[in-house]
């Protein structure tokens, strides 16, 4: 039986001006120090390699910027930072996830950077963005986004990788179920002169070249419609037609190709040598065809496990090993758990994001199980807990539960679950040798 993943945790220390959290390194694993992070497969296990050439396994927390954006009980930035770092050390966390913020980056914390490209997460329902990725204006806007983000995020000695947000809706069927629309539908409803509309019409003509009668049949087109296809009212399509569904799935791949090509181009330009961790895929919203496109460009596949929309998406627990195995086997890439938590019921806040356990004890136990089971998969290259400080979420979603509550009081059992695993995992030091 495969034993659990080995991590040698050094004594945790706080050092301002350098990397404040020192646990999680493999000082005995030496590779070339390139002055930036990169991913490396070492004896079957995927690791990040630090700028100095040491093995490193990130176990971090996302949204640390919330502490400084909202302020906590009138405390100073210095006091807030000290409390945070003390807790992270005690609980065995060694870096910041996406949303770390400049307050911690400037002090040398290792972190994951992030960049919003397409806000399509289920919590953006009325503000979901389906950009025309084929347009020059999108390319210009995207480049400006990369350039602006790089000005404060690109720190090669600390930046472990870049992840893109916010949960693009790649699965047509689930997007239509939740939003009553999808990326393909939004592109084909653009105006006649839109680049995306032209790309879609060109796609249809090429796909049905030599068989235009079938195109007319499936899409209910007249001869006049066919001659002026750009002007056709595609809003009247019957989206349940099996052939139209297949066509839409294929065109979604064309969207993904353009999206990833441009994103990779600007990533290389503004974040040279930094691992590209790609989209933060919501587990269950990543068709195989899209994963294959992503795999051509990214260094790892990033996933968020849980906090989906209903039963159509996997729960936060138990660890979805079969799905994760499939992602790795299909792409050949390491997999980063970029966002995860298991929430629990409290008398003050009955509704929480992510899958909810009945009590803090139950959630802590399930978290421990999840951590052990995920680390037993050697292709997993890191884990990031969703949020440190509890926050109210819009759209009636309740509370996004942190490891501490709104007053910065730790949820002691949950904190203990992370601490036990993160700080005692050195007992598996011989497990994979």
**pLDDT higher than 50, residue 15:** no
Output the CA angle 353-385-6, nearest 5 degrees: 145
Considering 97-111, 139-153, 418-432, the range whose residues carry the highest mean pLDDT is 139-153
Q: Evaluate whether residue 149 is within a structural domain.
A: yes
In a domain? residue 241: no
Asked whether residue 13 is domain-assigned, the answer is no
Structural domain boundaries enclosing 306: 58-183+247-428
In percent, how much of the chain has pLDDT > 70?
88
Instruction: Decide if 11 is inside a domain.
Output: no
- The answer to whether residue 293 scores a pLDDT higher than 60 is yes
CB 281 within 8 A of CB 204: no
Domain tally for the chain? 1
Can you count the helices (H) and strands (E) in the chain? 14, 16
Would you say residue 41 lies in a domain?
A: no
- On whether the pTM is more than 0.85, the answer is yes
Determine the 3-state secondary structure of 385 from DSSP: strand
Task: Calculate what percentage of the chain has a pLDDT beyond 90.
Answer: 68
Residue 157 inside a domain? The answer is yes
Please count the other Cβ atoms lying within 10 Å of the Cβ belonging to residue 288: 11
pLDDT for 78 equals 84
Q: Quick one: pLDDT band at residue 187, thresholds 50, 70, 90?
A: very high
Give 16's pLDDT tier (boundaries 50, 70, 90): very low
The answer to whether position 270 is within a domain reads: yes
For residue 275, tell me if it sits in a domain.
Answer: yes
Q: Say whether pLDDT at 258 is over 80.
A: yes
What distances in angstroms separate CA 58 from CA 5, 21, 155, 221, one per listed residue? 13, 11, 17, 55
CATH of the domain at 162: 3.20.20.80
The pLDDT tens digits for 147-173 are: 999 999 999 999 999 999 888 889 999
For the chain, the residue count is 433
Q: Which among 268, 269, 271 is positioned nearest to 113, based on CA atoms?
A: 271
């Amino acid at each position: 039986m495969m034993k659990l993943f080995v991590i040698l945790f050094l004594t945790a220390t706080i050092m301002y001006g350098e990397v404040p959290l020192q646990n999680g390194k493999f000082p005995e694993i030496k590779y070339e120090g390139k002055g930036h992070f990169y991913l490396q497969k070492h004896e079957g296990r995927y690791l990040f390699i630090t700028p100095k050439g040491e093995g490193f396994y990130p176990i971090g927390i996302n949204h640390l910027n919330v502490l400084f954006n909202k302020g906590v009980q009138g405390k100073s930035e210095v006091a807030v930072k000290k409390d945070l770092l003390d807790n992270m050390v005690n609980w065995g966390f060694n870096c910041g996830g996406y949303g770390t913020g400049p307050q911690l980056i400037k002090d040398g914390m290792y972190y994951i950077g992030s960049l919003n490209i397409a806000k399509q997460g289920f919590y953006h329902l009325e503000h979901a963005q389906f950009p025309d990725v084929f347009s020059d204006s999108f390319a210009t806007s995207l480049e400006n986004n990369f350039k602006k983000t790089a000005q404060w995020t690109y720190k090669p000695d600390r930046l472990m990788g870049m992840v893109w947000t916010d949960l693009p809706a790649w699965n047509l069927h689930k997007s239509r179920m939740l939003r009553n629309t999808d990326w393909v539908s939004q592109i084909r409803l653009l105006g006649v002169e839109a680049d995306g509309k032209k790309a879609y019409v060109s796609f249809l003509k090429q796909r049905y070249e030599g068989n235009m009668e079938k195109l007319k049949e499936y899409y209910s087109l007249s001869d006049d419609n066919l001659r002026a296809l750009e002007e056709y009212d595609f809003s009247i399509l019957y989206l349940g037609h099996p052939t139209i569904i297949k066509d839409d799935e294929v065109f979604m791949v064309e969207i993904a190709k353009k999206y990833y090509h441009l994103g990779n181009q600007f990533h290389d330009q503004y974040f040279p040598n930094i691992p590209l961790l790609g989209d933060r895929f919501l587990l269950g919203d990543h068709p195989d065809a899209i994963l294959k496109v992503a795999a051509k460009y990214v260094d790892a596949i990033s996933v968020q496990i849980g906090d989906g929309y209903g039963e159509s998406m996997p729960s936060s627990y138990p660890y979805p090993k079969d799905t994760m195995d499939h992602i790795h086997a299909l792409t050949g890439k390491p997999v980063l758990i970029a966002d995860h938590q298991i929430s629990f019921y409290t008398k003050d806040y009955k509704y929480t994001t992510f899958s909810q356990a009945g009590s803090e004890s139950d959630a802590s136990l399930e978290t421990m199980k999840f951590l052990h089971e995920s680390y037993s998969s050697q292709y997993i290259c890191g884990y990031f807990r969703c949020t440190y400080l509890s926050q109210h979420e819009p759209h009636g979603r309740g509370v996004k539960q942190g490891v501490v509550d709104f007053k910065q009081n730790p949820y002691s059992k949950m904190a203990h679950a992370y601490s036990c695993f993160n700080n005692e995992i050195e007992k598996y030091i011989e497990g994979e040798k």
